[in-house]
Every structure is written in C-alpha cells, then in structure tokens.
Amino acid sequence: MKKYNVAVVGAGAVGSEMLRVLKQRNFPVAQLKVLARSARDINVDGQKYHVEPVTPKSFEGMHVALFAGTEGEKGAAVTYAQEAVKHGCIVIDNGSDFRMEKNVPLVVPEVNGKDVRLAKKGRGIIANPNCSTIQMVVALAPIHKMSKIKRVIVSTYQAASGAGSKAVDELFSQTKDVMEGKTARPEALSKRIAFNVFPHIGSFAENDFTTEEWKMILETQKIMHDNKIQVSSTTVRVGVKIGHSESVYLETTKALDIKKVKAALAKAPGLIVVDDLKTSNYPMPIDCEGKDDVFVGRIRKDPFNPKGIWLWVVADNLRKGAASNAVQIAEELVKLNLI
C-alpha cells in the first residue's frame, strides 16, 4: 500500500484529535510532522509526539497538510496554506477562512466527497465545514435525495469544547464554584456556562443572526449544491463537555412516508439511527463521544404539515465535527488517487 507524508498543523484539542484519528483509522502515513507556533512535546493516548515550529519550509515533501484551524480568529492556514500548496501539498483546513471561497471545495465526504477533485483545479485547498453544519448535512442528504428540501429550521445545543479547551476548563471550574457557593465568572466564554444555556455563538451579524448561524445557512447550501434551500438557525451553547445536539425541522417539496425516511437514514453512510421510543432510546452526547458517525433519532412527521419532518441529530464535535471529517477528506483524496 502506498503511504503518504502528512503534516498536522496545530497541537491543541483539534490537532491532538487529528493525530488520534489518523492512528485509529489506520491512515497510510509514511512520515508525520506535527507543527505549531512553538516547539514542545505532546502526549496523545500514551504516544509522544514532537511538535516543530511551523515555517514555510515545513511542508517540503509533504503530500497533505491538516490544519486544525481556529474558530473566531485567523487560523494558521491564512499564513501557511499557500506555502504548503507551493510545495505540492494539498491543504485540508478546519478553520473558517476559506470555506466560502468559490474555488475552494467545502466537503463532507458522505455528502459531496467527489468535490475534493476541485482542489486540483482551484487553490489546492479543501475546507472542512463548521462542526454543526457537518452533522446536519449528513442527516439531511439522504432525505434530499428522496425529495428536494425546501427549508430547514434548526436549533443547536453545542458543547463547551466547540469553543476550545479553555471553555471546557471553564465549564468544570464554574461547576465547582457554583457547587461551593462561589461566584462563577465567565472568561473564555461570553456568559456563564455552568448550569446555564445561552443563544450566542460567534458574533452578531446581518439580520441579528450570529456568524455561527450564518455559517450553517451558507455552508449547507454550498455543500448540498442547492442555493434554494432556506435555512434558518439558532445556535446555543450548553453545559456539555463534548457532543453537539441539534433539533432539525425540514420541509420537503413532496410528502414522504416516514417509514421510508427512516429506512433511507438507516442505510446512509456515516449515519446511525437510534430511535426506539419504547425503550426511550435516542441519541445523546454521552453516547456519541469518541465516535465518527452522526446519530439521528426522534424521527417524526409534523402532524400539521404532511411535508414537514423533525430530526434530533447528535455527533462528537471534535471528531466528526472537525478531526474525523478532515481525515475522511484525506481518505477520499487517496481513494481518488489525487495525492
């Protein structure tokens, strides 16, 4: 089997998860470089990795570079992606900097995997979508094939880890403070996360939607190649460590048999249906942690609209929402002989 030289740029929560996923999915790695702003050693599942300072020359001889990305600020890919491409490397960027560029494919392999081919014709960069978008489109795609989706209304319940390791630390420390009767002060997040829920992820933008909400709108249309899908979103931060949940309402162009919808979802790649109401069995973040699939349940018809369907969608935001999707994109490149 042919093997490939891989660079992972970023050694935080997502970068570490990328290293974990590469190993667990047995990606054919010949040489592995871990790059970040400064040199250090990190430990992932008992394995030591040496982190080198990233420079333009770091990408010499590399076939693919996985950039962990930084939400809310310019990621390392802005500085180094084109340098990597100059060295013949294909960049897979988990940040938001290139997602909506016309000549950069935005890819979820189960939905539009073949779009990776566009990287060769474009800038040599493939963008990893927003974590909440990824899990939603994996669930929407099989239904869209049955009947075009007209509109989607989604409310997300996003884990603290979506805001980084400092937000997770804050969830734990604030929980301890509240239990001890102390004042829990927000620092990493805009509001207190312990024993709280707040509808504010990203910054407020056009029409009073947040940037996170606009990502879900625009990215869904781009990934599914359908600008007519009307998406409206409310993104919410909740006191969960790992795993984003979504309440998704969708309306199709024609009425669908709900049994056939469930069957299509059960057969779809990357989806696991957990929907046994007799045993109160439905997806929860604690059951999805550490897994690469998207889980869907509470599948039901709108009793007042024959074309309306409700879904409850859950996934590990650090894996399928970030690291695993990026590695799956690299696997798609291997499958299509593009690296």
CATH number of 20's domain = 3.40.50.720
The pTM score is: 0.95
Mean pLDDT, all residues of the chain: 96
**93 and 176 share one domain:** no
**155 and 298 share one domain:** yes
**138 and 33 share one domain:** no
**124 and 164 share one domain:** no
Evaluate whether 103 touches 82 at the Cβ level (below 8 Å).
no
Evaluate whether 174 touches 158 at the Cβ level (below 8 Å).
no
CA gap 314, 101 in Å, rounded: 28
Q: List the catalytic residue out of 63, 89, 144, 244.
A: 244
Helix, strand, coil content of the chain in percent (nearest 5): 35, 25, 35
C-alpha torsion angle, residues 107, 109, 112, 113 (rounded to 10): 100
Q: At residue 113, does pLDDT exceed 90? A: yes
**32 and 74 share one domain:** yes
pLDDT above 90: percentage of residues in the chain:
95
Domain that holds residue 272: 132-317
Which secondary structure element, helix H or strand E, spans residue 83, and what is its range? helix 76-86
Q: What band does 163 get if pLDDT is binned at 50, 70 and 90? A: very high
**250 and 328 share one domain:** no
**115 and 203 share one domain:** no
- Which phi-psi region, left, alpha or beta, contains residue 311 (left: φ > 0; alpha: ψ -120 to 50)? beta
Q: Given CA atoms 226, 232, 237, 239 in this order, what sign does their dihedral have?
A: negative
In order of 27, 157, 243, 267, 299, the CA distances from 162 in angstroms are 25, 11, 9, 29, 26
CA gap 258, 266 in Å, rounded: 12
Structure tokens at 250: 């969708």
Structure tokens at 210: 């947040």
Average pLDDT, integer, range 236-262: 98
Evaluate whether 81 touches 89 at the Cβ level (below 8 Å).
no
Q: What are phi and psi of 67, to 5 degrees?
A: -95, 125
**72 and 146 share one domain:** no
Which secondary structure element, helix H or strand E, spans residue 105, and what is its range? none
Instruction: Please indicate whether residue 288 is annotated as part of the active site.
Output: no
CA gap 309, 286 in Å, rounded: 25
Count of structural domains, the chain: 2
Structure tokens at 257: 């048999």
CATH number at residue 194: 3.30.360.10
Average pLDDT, integer, range 254-260: 98
> What are the pLDDT digits (tens) for 188-225?
999 999 999 999 999 999 999 999 999 999 999 999 99
**328 and 287 share one domain:** no
Q: At residue 166, does pLDDT exceed 70? A: yes
Q: List the catalytic residue out of 89, 131, 144, 288.
A: 131
**182 and 151 share one domain:** yes
Q: At residue 71, does pLDDT exceed 70? A: no
Which secondary structure element, helix H or strand E, spans residue 64, and what is its range? strand 64-67
DSSP symbol at 128: P
DSSP strand pairing (4-9 vs 29-36): parallel
Q: At residue 57, does pLDDT exceed 70? A: yes
Q: What are phi and psi of 215, to 5 degrees?
A: -60, -45
Evaluate whether 154 touches 312 at the Cβ level (below 8 Å).
no
Q: At residue 331, does pLDDT exceed 70? A: yes
CA gap 241, 11 in Å, rounded: 19
Instruction: Please indicate whether residue 50 is annotated as part of the active site.
Output: no
